[in-house]
Amino acid sequence: MESYNPQKIEPKWQRYWEKEDSNKAKDFSKKPKKYILIEFPYPSGDGLHVGHVRSYAALDAVCRKKRMEGFNVLFPIGFDAFGLPAENYALKTGVHPQTAIDKNIATFKRQLKSLGLSFDWSREINTADPKYYKWTQWIFLKLFEKGLAYQAEIPINWCPSCKIGLANEEVIAGSCERCGAKTEEKRLKQWMIKITKYADRLIEDLGEVDYPERVKAQQINWIGKSYGTEVDFKIDNSDKKITVFTTRVDTLFSGTYLILAPENPLVKTITTKEQKESVERYIREAAKKNELERVDTEKERTGAFTGTYAINPATNEKIPIWIADFVLAHYGTGAVFADAHDQRDFEMAKKYNIPLKISLRPKNEELWEKVKNLEVCYSDEGILVNSGQFDGLTSQEAIKKITQWLENKETGRPAIQYKLRDWVFSRQHYWGEPIPIIHCEKCGVVPVPEKDLPLKLPYIEKYQPTSTGESPLANISSWVNVKCPKCKSRAKRETDTMPNWAGSNWYFMRYCDPKNNKALADVKKLKYWMPVDWYNGGMEHTTLHLLYSRFIYKFLFDIKVAPESEPYKRRTSHGIVLADDGRKMSKSFGNVINPDGIIKKYGADTLRIYEMFIGPFDQQVAWSIQGVNGAARFLNKVWQVCFECSKNKKSSPQILRAVHSLNKKIDGDLEIMKFNTIISSFMQFINLAQENKKDVGRETIEKTLILLSLLAPHFAEEVWEKLGHKKSIFFENWPKYDQNIIKKEEVTLIIQINGRVRDKIEVNSDISEREAKALTLSREKVKKYILQKEIKKVVFVPGKLINIVVEEH
RNA sequence: GCUCGGGUGGCGGAACGGUUUACGCACAACACUUAAAAUGUUGCGGCCUUAGGGCCUUGUGGGUUCGAAUCCCACCCCGAGCACCA
């Protein structure tokens, strides 16, 4: 008998599957559809990561099973090819991003194919292909048309040394990722997308999808909806008012000052002559700090007095208006009322000797003494004091009643705030989709007409950013200078490009109809395939890609392009694969595992089995080369058993029961992604078969191979063929297990005395309680424990256990 | 600080109200071999015991239960995400 030689058989079957188009999904097939999606890779120069292998192999197993169960499965693959690394690489080496990406994609394709994954390669997409990004640009035009894309001057991370705007993910601990210089805030006009308009729907519709709790919680947290009250404070000696947002209106009576964000436009108009200098100095200081420094909660509270006062609508007292950098301009109204029941306000008032008042009383008397004397800040809920008619109410009651009271006086109202901010959609980079907008001297902002799409990214030689912070595209005057599509007068193109997320927002729709020239995808095909039935990906995309793409899909639903409002029925996520030292795999640590090496030495099937066995799928796992040996040994054992037993006629009841149990285990565990227990059950089965080779018949071997084909497809095909089959094993139907065969006649009954295991007996599985009790009490071991003691109770769990409860002395 | 996960042998982990430590790795002994590798067999939580066996053990402390790794309460530790969000 030949020994198992993956290096020989794997390429053979990969060629076979490619030739036979084995994994092609058929549009409008009468079979029920399953759309199973993995996050498409960014084709980095490092090649495929063993982490990709784990999640792709897992979902590949799911797809293979669904096909054998009679589903028309769509399991597509593509490449998210725009992005910064290719541009940085170009800056360093002069190699054009297009060239680098093409090369990387070729490597990825070779690697993915060498794993034998059952992708439908005929639907391959590439987000940097003009035929693809034509539709990414089209979506932008639609957003613009509906008023959801707009320009605003907002602060961005600016590297004064590279003279370039940086995305948040390019700023590491307040410094530029490339040169290490401290970043500053710079205000630039940016394209923004109004995702906030969809905030409520993004929360509510989570109710109708099947996502892990932690994913839902993270998205809800990120959107950060909070219910509160808006309160108007009249400015003293003026008609103007300052509106603040609070979730704790119960503390309004202790509001002894107001604080504005330094960037709040009101600051300029209300600051008095006397205070102008110190206020302006404070604003300058605040602007110099980057986000990281401002957020440092350990630092001392600072602020500046504007010289102006406001009237607290609850007490009618005159209270000073301050500015402080811990008040955020972009949240709420950029203004808060400050009181003794907020840690930050409390600290700041202490520092500047601003008067404080108490309006909440804690239950704890000892604490109350300290709170009363302003020794500590009490910020929990309590009972109202010094609050006029509201005294004695709990915080919860007071929030309702005070809001109502303010509403009647027309100085307040219930309000809702979100943490979610609009999405900054501009990047000052080359390697992205150009934003299809023209700035006309006469007409202003004019969209590129749809017929002119795709607006192709021009091929350039130099990627150096401009000194003004514009993208390198601004340097190509022949591309920038155009005629206005409306009035034909002089105009300039927008030179910002889109962020990396633009292409991945809708790629799953393109898979449904990847070659369509007339639409991003044919409506009928979308209706057939969408929504994605099962989408697996990383937790790191929860608040970026996953949220963005849900939003864009909702928008496309609203303009009648998408057939429903949620793109993904079910989301699951994998844990990351760490290096054997427990750290992230990274070139700089020198601990990266290249799947090519493992495939060469052990074969793709071994690698796949190992990676799925390594630990729970949704948790992070550390790589271990010794573990790969275990997977290789397992496949070798299966190989031996298959050939040694294939001539046996019949299987023993024990083996039959075991293989049916295994079948059941796989059916159950695959659906809940417990791949590690599937493989351990498989190992147990093979160990049993190996010990009882005479009892393993051919039909059991064949069943085993079909079960194993999900995990080790090349292996299964090869043995299947060697057993004399002419057709691919993947044409077989998924086997059904028989519960009657699984049911055991004889079981081990556990005997407990007072809950402790004292004995075990082999009994018929449907033994009655009376019989079991009699049998138990006749056992020598049991007698020892119940001698001269009173039996108080007998607990009987049929087929499992009997517990004798006796009096303890 | 808030939200969500976790803490079980030397290690990865299984069990998620009913035999704790399945399966794998590592380790040890033996067999096969001139030798090594590979493979196979056996052992492998701790303490006590001549044996039979006994006792302890799922981060810590309580509770519910005939019975708790599993359910409840409090605390400690680790990981992930958010974080001056009023």
DSSP string, A267-312: HHHH--HHHHHHHHHHHHHHHHS-HHHHT-TTSPP--EEEEEEEE-
In the complex, which nucleotide's C1' lies nearest to the CA atom of residue A324? B84
Adjacent-strand bridge partners of A315: none
CA-based nearest residue to A266, from A315, A220, A288, A233 = A233
Say how many Å lie between the first and final Cα of chain A, rounded.
67
Angle (CA) A631-A636-A642 rounded to 5° is 125
> Which protein residue lies nearest to nucleotide B79, measured between its Cα and the C1' atom?
A620
pLDDT given for residue A297 in this prediction: 58
User: CA at A389, C1' at B26: how many angstroms apart?
Assistant: 73
Of A90, A445, A155, A467, give the one whose Cα is nearest residue A290. Answer: A155
Residue A655 in tokens: 């083996």
Can you read off the two tokens belonging to residue A108? 């990825």
Residues A291 and A298: their CA atoms lie apart, in Å, by: 14
pLDDT (0 to 100) of residue A327: 93
Residue A757, φ and ψ in degrees, nearest 5? -70, 125
C-alpha atoms less than 13 angstroms from C-alpha of A675 in its C-beta half-sphere: 28
Strand B contact at CB of residue A661, distance < 7 A = no
Chain A 80..119 CB hits on strand B (< 7 A): none
Q: In the 381-420 stretch of chain A, whose C-beta falls under 7 Å of nucleic acid strand B?
A: 417, 419
In order, the DSSP letters of A709-776 are TTT-HHHHHHHHHHTT--S-GGGSPPP---HHHHS-SEEEEEEEETTEEEEEEEEETT--HHHHHHHH
CA atom of A687 to C1′ atom of B27, Å: 21
Residues 161-190 of A with CB under 7 A from strand B: none
CA of A645 vs C1' of B61, distance in Å?
56
Is A643 (CB) below 7 Å from strand B?
no
Bond before A531 cis per omega within 30 degrees? yes
Walk along chain A (809 residues) in steps of 10 and give the mean pLDDT of each run. Answer: 89 96 94 97 92 95 97 97 87 90 96 97 97 98 97 82 69 68 80 94 93 91 93 93 95 96 92 94 82 64 94 96 92 94 92 94 86 90 93 93 96 94 90 96 95 94 77 91 94 94 96 96 97 94 93 97 96 91 82 92 96 92 90 95 90 93 95 95 95 92 96 97 95 95 86 88 87 88 80 88 81
Listed as ranges, the nucleotides of chain B within 7 A of a protein C-beta are 3-5, 12-15, 18-20, 22-26, 38-41, 54-55, 66-68, 79-86
Residue A761 CA and nucleotide B17 C1' are separated, in Å, by 22
The SS3 call for residue A491 is: strand
Would the Cβ of A747 be found within 7 angstroms of any atom in strand B?
no
pLDDT for A518 equals: 95
Nearest nucleotide by C1' from A794 CA?
Answer: B66
Please tell me whether the overall predicted TM-score, pTM, comes out greater than 0.90 for this model.
Answer: yes
Give the pLDDT of residue A170: 67
Whether A800 CB is under 7 Å from strand B: yes
Q: In what order do the strands lie in the sheet with A571-574?
A: A72-74, A33-38, A534-538, A571-574
Give the per-residue pLDDT at A783: 83
